Structure 1
Amino acid sequence: MHPSTEAHLPTVETARKLGLLTEEFEKINQILGRTPNFTELSIFSVMWSEHCSYKNSIVWLKTLPKDSPRMLAKAGEENAGLVDIGDGLACSFKIESHNHPSAIEPYQGAATGVGGINRDIFTMGARPIAQLNSLRFGNLKLDKTRRLLKGVVRGIGNYGNAFGIPTVGGEVFFDDSFNVNPLVNAFSAGIVKTDQVAKAISYGVGNPVFIVGSATGKDGIHGATFASEDIGEHSAEKLPAVQVGDPFQEKLLLEATLEVIASGNVIGIQDMGAAGIICSTSEMSAKGEHGMEIHLDKVPTRQANMVPFEILLSESQERMLIVVKKGKEAETQAIFDKWDLNCAQIGTVTDTKRLHFYMHGELAADVPADDLVLGGGAPVYHREYREPAYYKKYQQFDIQSVKDFENTEAISEAAKHILSHTNIASKKWVYEQYDSMVGIANRSTNAPSDAAIVRVLGSDKSIVITVDCNSRYVQADPEQGCAIAVAEAARNIVCSGGEPVAITNCLNFGNPYVPEVYWQFVGAIKGMKKACEKFSTPVTGGNVSFYNQSSDEGPVFPTPTIGMLGLMENPANQMTLDFKKAGDLIYLVGASRNDLASSQYLYSYLGVKESPAPHFDLEDEFAVQAVIKDLVTKRMIESAHDVSDGGLFAALAESAMPRGLGFNINPDKNIRLDAFLFGESQSRVVVSVTPEGNDAFVKAMQATQVKFSLLGKVHAADFRLEEKPLLTSAGAKELYDNALGKIMEA
């Protein structure tokens, strides 16, 4: 029976309920030359959702820089980005969101986010070696926020620890704008030999198509559509749209996948993430300009009587679609039998460029592959955008409207607030639930640095990785704030001894149909573009997460999370952030400014929520980073730590506390004291220098155009300003280490 002969065909109202626009329903009718049946309409609804098609973002994503001599895969065309790191090796890396599922079911939402991003890596033929995560939550005074944080952290920890990949770093940020919509962004990186890379493609008429891994259930159906709408009061009813993960099954799938790729029998392979079977079959077929004939009744299921659309759209975890060379079926089956995993041939490759899905011999759906996918027939929109009224209001902030410090006691109180604020305080309560050492490659667990450093086994190389974004800055000024996110990621890598190479991004915004929200998105892309071009860090891919918005609370702070990959060729270049001994000199590389804009001090201590992004100049930033690279490679400094959240005081404290040291510094008399200590103007790095190396350091700095200043010296135990004690190192560490834990365990 042809699909169009079904008795009750869907209407435009059905299409709307599935998240399609009226004009999209009409376009589907034109593509098919008939009215789609429900299965076909469901196929288009998930493939044309924002989550899969990027229909509201692709016009701007295409403006981002994507080329470099190191790039081995075109952005967005494979499961993950792929960058040449030399000596026949490549690094595959990517960041993705699992925001909506985590808002409804935090444990499984976060766990399956970790599972999904790691599958993207090993589907490329790369063995994952490190994970990071970037998390955003609401007010910790709320029971809901604490519940979400506990669930997400447990989900990440339990899945990642069991899977056996170390979580080597990340960030956690709190703000009321995330009360309803938390953000859960997961990053993974892996290593592959350049001659063993697998592609997400299908071709060769008659080649068999296999589904491998877990059985298919009803979890996650319409998950892609769910991720393409606002969170509302009925969102909890969509719990079946949240997937369920099994890290032990994923570990088996990792080993089996790498083994089958190494066999040389694989034509193409793709992870089944958003939209499940329909996404993998359509994207692989469209890329290879072929078609497929798929028999859905041959798909291993774990629930009885699943109907075609449920099998096609299920987002059950730990599954892959593999196309292998004809005649290699038995070898493929044997590999997955060895690992005790499902391996079922469900179809063959055709030359039709169409996808024909059968159920017990009957044609359930007949759709053209190319019309389903990004770059093919999927709709592309140029959305309206408009500067929000708040933007000009933020620009009107005047630093003279707030009082500077009048005495040491006032500074001490502000310092305590900063060190104990959950955006700045240690995330020990979080990271102690993660295994950071499994795999024995992490170089930075006991050597604190601004970015994570992970050894590439069998090589002297290390990858240097970080995730960065200050959502408060992006809210204040999307273009400037996103450029700062790229710059800070690069600064973190440089301060750790690495060379920035490329980025992946996770773009978290509200509803794209709201012009003021879309303005934030456009501004962020512009800022990312100019910063990536300056640092020669092309965009390898990533994902867009819109609809992080609720009817009650409005949109979240815009959060374009930057995941950056750096490379360290020589392990001797590894640089840490901790002061080494009392008596060493402390310098600031870069210039302090009379700037409190968007600082944590201004926002939470003084309660001034409306101010512009902090001062930032891309040329100054580039020059500072070039100087730091030179100082590191010439072994002229003992430590390096970038000045970011919490300002200079937080940077000094974080450098002093690891070894129980302190500091005594003298303020810049040309700068307000509050701005000097707690302002967050960019392009600054705190470094320490031995007394013996001081002359050489000063001479080297004087040969550059970069401003620098002597702040003071490393002290044995206290935090001092002009010899006046502010805090003891032990007292500061108590505040810093335990602030988050006390809230979570209360």
Structure 2
Amino acid sequence: MADTTANAANTPDVEQPWADLGLKEDEYQRIREILGRRPTAAELAMYSVMWSEHCSYKSSKVHLRKFGDLPKTTPRGELLAGIGENAGVLDIGNGWAVTFKIESHNHPSYVEPHQGAATGVGGIVRDILAMGARPVGVMDSLRFGPLDLPDTQRVLPGVVAGVGTYGNCLGLPNIGGEAFFDPTYSGNPLVNALGVGVLKHEDLHLAHASGTGNKVVLYGATTGGDGIGGVSVLASETFDADGPAKRPSVQVGDPFMEKLLIECTLELFAAGVVTGIQDLGGAGLSCATSELASAGDGGMHIELDRTPLRDSSLSPEEILMSESQERMMAVVEPGRVDEFMEICAKWDVEATVIGEVTDGDRLVIDWHGETVVDVPPRTVAHDGPVYERPYARPEWIDKVNADAAEDLARDALPLREQVLRVMGAPNVADRTWITEQYDRYVLGDTVLARPESAGMIRVDEDGLGVALSVDCNGRIAYLNPYLGAQHALAQAYRCVAATGAEPVAVSDCLNFGSPEDPSAMWQFVEAILGLVDGCRELGTPVTGGNVSFYNQTGETAIVPTPTVGVLGVIDDVATRVSSKLPDVGHELWLLGESRDELSGSVWADVVHDGHLGGMPPKVDLEAEKRLVALMSEAHGLVASARPLVEGGLVRAAVESAIIAGRGVEIEQQGEPVAWWFGESSARLLVGVDPAVAAEWNAACEKHEVPAVRVGTVLDGTQVRLGDMEFSLEELSGTWRAPIPAAMES
């Protein structure tokens, strides 16, 4: 028998499992105060998932508000939807808008790597779809433990297969991303998925339930027991050293159902039969009903027993907590319901009217004629706990910052061996083993994809396009989270600019340890400040994103990982710039200032046995902006451009040569280790035809970008780095081997 509101009013002293559902005692008492009685089992389930860290942002809200001070416009136009919506939407010109967002699916991907990662992709795609956009691409940012650990060899293949299978079955290109390895990700991998979609301005849809008498329709897959509690609970607690203490079942994805759901939803939009829409992701029906109702102008009444189930034994609270995938909820005018149902039937998508919008201010949910939920919807969806967690700069960081890599022995190994060590480092090595499992060119609009430094997609037949990059270096953020967040921002910004696109907006996925640890909370606060200050200086709004806390195994937190996605716009994709080496005889120019900056570098890690200390390289956002201005004006003079990132100049030169299959000669200028392996920011390695060298040099001077000619593209397969000489085959073998070798083992 269901626990009704009447029963709850008459049995105030019934013991309830609030702690098992992740609620604190004071939170439970607050729920009782809101309702004026104890909650029913169904109400307790709703509040527990919606007040979880993953859904309510209760530890981060006070700091995320700082993003509200950032610009609401971009160099291309208005921000049409921002933080608080399913995904950010911005004007890119020609009547087009683009929506993009990045979110985490970290803990589920450790418990069940394939389904955890797959449903992460599915969830972000539905966020894009819910804005009225056609999804056109995905990207992923992945973090794992060391390659040689058995658990990495369990998790990595499952995650990659999940990302690839789901995206491939949807027919969406995976246009780029990143993968990093660090001991702190052992037992707590990060799976951050980014989705991007395009729409006309008039097609924008928002999540709200308005219009008394309008019907509430649940459509898509049926509701099952998979994912009960799911990410909303699992992502809101720390893993024990032996694994997660609680393991709610991970959602199970069906990409073919999602493909039908996408096409069905787009046709529903085109027919004009939807007045409000919400996807069912974290917290499932609890989220969709409470968020739609609280964002509308009335209340909502739901008959929960109408929910199509694939497990008839589910209780009301289990149905409300289920995070079964491929489901959406729409608000439809009564006179358009039949048309809505016909479109769903055409796509073989099950649809059921389960309620209606009311003229009250309550969310009421009945189960077989009896009320099991009667709540103010805003208290569930928006007015949850807000914590100002204590934070403090950790004592250990001074010692870490004093241990500068610049002071390490630079002749610990012969220089030639250092080059091979860096090129064979897991955080530099070839990602083809990963990316070959993704379809990068389906739909026919992919212009750039891995191994390019940023992805690019054509939007319309006139050549309008968008470029995207996701970046973060957790080792740098560990040394200084403020600067680490700005490095992530600057690197993604630079990677987009290198293609010839203009960076215009940001989405972020902020991955940190437990917010109950003052040190981890300090890292988070510093990263927020770094991003806010950085975005303000660059003039780029943050359109939305995600916070993922409790990325911690026992007492070991991950290195702070504030992943940043940057979107850029290019007027004509035909003018894009590739990162691979241009034709033989082209000159190579190094743009930007190269300093003696080795702390946090790949060189320090692989030449000095995992060394991590010192202060990160300087972040010069004005210099980054000058690079954008130069690349925007002089793209006709540039034959190639590769950003300098982890691994420094040696990586940029060697990777460009390997990908192009051409030799290269690079001069050594300055102290060898700093020159080849330093990781100073705001730098590009650019290929220029000698015939336009003078014009190119003048453009660099105009934009005050330091530029020095450092090399030449060779006819052959030799790679000459100063006095060192390598065959392309030797370098390629070293670079390509690490991930396949680990996976084969």
Query: What RMSD, in angstroms, separates the aligned Cα atoms of the two structures?
Result: 1.8
Candidates 428, 438, 442, aligned match of 2:442: 438
Question: Does the Cα contact within 8 Å between 2:161 and 2:437 map onto a contact in 1?
Answer: yes
CA contact (8 A) 1:9 1:38 kept: no
Give the secondary structure class of the aligned counterpart of 2:17. Answer: helix
What secondary structure does 1:612 align onto? coil
1:498 — aligned with what?
Answer: 501
- Residue 2 of structure 1 and its aligned partner are, at CA, apart by 5.1
Deviation by residue 1:465-504 (Cα, 9 ceiling, x = unmatched): 1111111111111000101111111101110110011111
Which residue does the alignment assign to 2:575? Answer: 573
Report SS of the residue matched to 2:66: coil
Q: Distance in 2 between matches of 1:603 and 1:354?
A: 57
SS at match of 1:700: helix
Distance (Å, rounded) in 1 between the aligned partners of 2:4 and 2:699: 77
Equivalent positions of 1:359-374 (< 5 A) are 359-374=367-382
Amino acid at match of 1:62: R
After TM superposition, the structure 1 = structure 2 runs for residues 692-707 of structure 1, keeping only pairs within 5 Å, are 692-707=691-706
Question: Deviation digits for residues 664-710 of structure 1, max 9, x if unmatched?
Answer: 222223xx211110011111111121221222222332334322222
Equivalent in the alignment of 1:388: 394
Where in structure 2 are the equivalents of 1:583-602 lying within 5 Å?
Answer: 583-602=585-604
Q: 2:26: which partner in 1?
A: 23
> Quick check: 1:204 aligned with 2:211?
yes
Q: What amino acid maps onto 1:557 in structure 2? A: V
Paired with 1:563 and 1:231, the residues of 2 have a C-alpha distance of 27
Corresponding letter in the other structure for 2:173: P
How many Å separate the matches in 1 of 2:205 and 2:479? Answer: 42
Whichever residue aligns with residue 38 of structure 1, its letter is: A
Paired position in structure 2 for 1:68 = 73
Aligned match of 1:292: 300
Alignment partner, residue 638 of structure 1: 639
Correspondence 1:362-511 to 2 at 5 A: 362-374=370-382, 377-399=383-405, 401-405=407-411, 410-445=414-449, 449-511=452-514
Could you tell me which residue of structure 1 aligns to residue 547 of structure 2?
544
Distance (Å, rounded) in 1 between the aligned partners of 2:631 and 2:705: 10
Question: Which region of structure 1 is more displaced relative to structure 2, 395-404 or 233-242?
Answer: 233-242
Unaligned runs of 5+ in 1: none
2:403 & 2:621 partners in 1: Cα distance? 22
CA apart distance, 1:122: 1.1
1:665 aligns with 2:666: yes
Comparing 695-704 with 431-440, greater Cα deviation is found at 695-704
Provide closer, same or farther for how the CA distance between residues 606 and 180 of structure 1 changes in structure 2, counting only shifts above 3 A.
Answer: same
TM-score normalised by structure 2 residue count: 0.96
Q: CA deviation at 1:385?
A: 0.7
* Range with bigger deviation, 72-81 or 325-334: 72-81
SS at match of 2:737: helix
* Structure 2 residue identity aligned to 1:653: V
User: SS of 1:603's equivalent?
Assistant: helix
Q: Aligned partners of 2:449, 2:406: CA distance in 1, in Å?
A: 43
One-letter amino acid of the counterpart of residue 314, structure 2: M
SS of 2:176 mapped into structure 1: strand
1:19, distance to aligned residue in structure 2 (A): 1.1
Quote the Cα distance in structure 1 between the aligned partners of 2:71 and 2:120: 25
Give the Å deviation of 1:255. 0.8
Equivalence for 1:98: 105
Whole-angstrom distance in 1 between the partners of 2:497 and 2:271:
39
Structure 1 partner of 2:725 = 726
Task: Show the 5 A alignment for 1:54-203.
Answer: 54-64=57-67, 65=70, 67-68=72-73, 70-203=77-210
How many angstroms apart in 2 are the aligned matches of 1:341 and 1:619? 51
* Distance of aligned partners of 1:93 and 1:703 in 2 relative to their CA distance in 1, 3 Å threshold: closer
Q: Deviations over 1:529-553 (max 9, x none)?
A: 111112222111111110001115x
Q: Compared with structure 1, are the counterparts of its residues 369 and 398 closer, same or farther at alpha carbon in structure 2 (3 Å cutoff)?
A: closer
Q: Deviations over 1:409-460 (max 9, x none)?
A: 81211111111112111100001111111111111249x5321111114331
2:269 aligned partner? 261
| Counterpart-to-counterpart distance in 2, 1:626 and 1:405 | 39
Q: Which amino acid counterpart does residue 575 of structure 1 have in structure 2? A: V
Equivalent residue letter for 2:654: A
Tell me the matched-pair count. Answer: 735
Give the partner amino acid of 2:648: G
Shift of 1:399: 4.9
Q: Identify the residue that residue 689 of structure 2 maps to in structure 1.
A: 690
Q: Write the deviation string for residues 88-138 of structure 1: whole angstroms up to 9, x where unpaired.
A: 111111111100100100000001001111111112121111110000000
How far is the alpha carbon of 1:12 from its aligned partner?
7.8
In structure 2, what is the Cα distance between the partners aligned to 1:561 and 1:194?
28
Task: Compare 692-701 and 316-325 and name the one that shifted more.
Answer: 692-701
Kindly state the Cα deviation for residue 235 of structure 1 after the two structures are TM-superposed.
Answer: 5.2
Q: Is the 8 A contact 2:465 2:569 kept in 1?
A: yes
Write the distance in 2 (CA, Å) between the matches of 1:294 and 1:400: 64
Letter in 1 for 2:589: Y
DSSP-derived class of the 2:275 partner: strand
Provide the residue aligned with 1:301 in structure 2.
309
Shift of 1:233: 5.6
Check the 8 A contact 2:404/2:615 in 1, yes or no: no
Amino acid at match of 2:416: S
Seen in structure 2, the aligned counterparts of structure 1 residues 339 and 400 have a Cα distance that, compared at 3 Å, is closer
Structure 1 residue 644 displacement after superposition: 0.7
**Percent same amino acid among aligned pairs?**
41
Deviates most, 597-606 or 183-192 = 597-606
1: CA distance between counterparts of 2:265 and 2:259? Answer: 10
Task: Note the C-alpha offset of 1:66.
Answer: 5.2
Instruction: Give the 3 Å change call, closer, same or farther, for CA 147–400 of structure 1 in structure 2.
Output: closer
Q: Does 1:321 align with 2:323?
A: no
Counterparts of residues 215-364 of structure 1 (less than 5 Å): 215-223=222-230, 224-232=232-240, 238-364=246-372
Letter of the 2:390 counterpart:
E
What are the superposed Cα offsets for residues 148-181 of structure 1, whole Å, 9 maximum, x if unpaired? 0000001111111111101111100000000010
Q: Is the Cα–Cα contact under 8 Å of residues 83 and 544 in structure 2 kept in the other structure? A: yes
Whole-angstrom distance in 1 between the partners of 2:310 and 2:54? 26
Deviation at 1:602, TM superposition (A): 0.6
1:234 Cα deviation from its structure 2 partner: 7.1
Q: Which amino acid aligns with 1:420?
A: G
